[in-house]
Amino acid sequence: MNASIEPLRWDAQARALYMLDQRQLPEREVWMVCKTWQDVAQAIQDMVVRGAPAIGIAAAYGMVLAADGCDCEAAVAGLARTRPTAVNLFWALDRMSRKLKDTAAADVPQALLAEAMAIHREDRAMCEAMGDFGAELLPKAARVLTHCNAGALATGGYGTALGVIRSAWREGRLSMVYADETRPYLQGARLTAWELHHDGVPVKVICDNMAASLMSQGRIDAVIVGTDRVAANGDIANKIGTLGVAVLCRHFGIPFYVAAPTSTIDLSTPSGAQIVIEQRSSLEVTHMGDRRLVPEGVGVENPSFDVTPVDLVTALITERGVLKPLNSDSLAKLLSQNEAHSQSV
């Protein structure tokens, strides 16, 4: 049995954060070491670590490194500037800032480390709980399509959408995962395929433009994706291309599930229209590695995320249960609860 995949490891002796460099997958498994909060911020910006929950966890450890150098205020601001769309980054920085405020100066390094480790540990537990709730939604021998990478690599381990897929596989409910390649950054082809193959889960990569054809042939039973932010009305932001998949699901009558921990729900953002969408380098579109694909002088667009309106979402799978229907009331009710429960909210 392979060791379970985790993108982040804290080395207590070295007081350093190790990150599996996701830019180098699937060819190489290389670990990068971060010894300062600036190293962590750079690594988030450069996509060494990516995926909403993993970004939040990395930022929390970044704050631990900042506390060692008494540089917390600058660290909060610097880490917050790295990527704008995933709310988990801001959620984790808020939680770390609150801990900082409530702690006597002499105890700060230890208290922040304990908080970062709690965020890390809790994230993995939330993914496992989502896996159990979500797997129940799938039919026997399900053929599931996913977009981007919402897996162990994007979280503290196990994954959100891929956590549901892992649980379904373990329970004998899954026959095939179709991973959209996810142009332009290819998280599906490089990362989702790598981690499912690593764990022995059957996976095929398809180009993004093949999903409609498979659906039209009745070869997809459900779509499960992760999200970077759930707005108060239930609109969700996720990797560019997610909206198209959701529209296809509506056309073909296929359930479109979103899996996310409550740390991804942002009641302070009223709807998807207010979510800041990260715009990334045009080079990701114009080039494939060193090779230019688009003629010089031709413009491109590269929004990294899109917004899927709530009415296209069949249900939201969280660590506290499944929200069906997803709407502002069910979200507000969910966040007002403390206890996990297994029924639809």
150 or 231: CB nearest ligand MRU: 150
Separation of CA 102 from chain center? 29
Place of tokens 């080039």: 287
Q: How far is the CB of 49 from ligand MRU (least distance, A)?
A: 9
User: 3-class SS at 129?
Assistant: helix
Q: How far is the CB of 223 from ligand MRU (least distance, A)?
A: 12
Place of tokens 């190489």: 28
Q: Where are the beta strands (DSSP E) in 79-218?
A: 142-146, 174-180, 203-206
Q: How far is the CB of 102 from ligand MRU (least distance, A)?
A: 29
Catalytic residues: 228
72 or 129: CB nearest ligand MRU: 129
Q: How far is the CB of 106 from ligand MRU (least distance, A)?
A: 36
132-150: b or e for each residue (b if 16 or more CB lie within 10 Å)?
bbbbebbeeebbbbbbbbb
111 or 181: CB nearest ligand MRU: 181
What gap in Å lies between CA 165 and CA 328, rounded to an integer? 27
150 or 223: CB nearest ligand MRU: 150
Whose CB is nearest to ligand MRU?
226
Separation of CA 236 from chain center? 12
The two three-digit tokens of residue 288, written as one number: 């494939």
Site of interaction with ligand MRU (CB under 6 A): 50-53, 86, 148, 150, 154-155, 160, 187, 226-228, 238-239, 304
Residue 328: which residues within 8 A CB-CB, separation 6 or more? 232, 233, 234
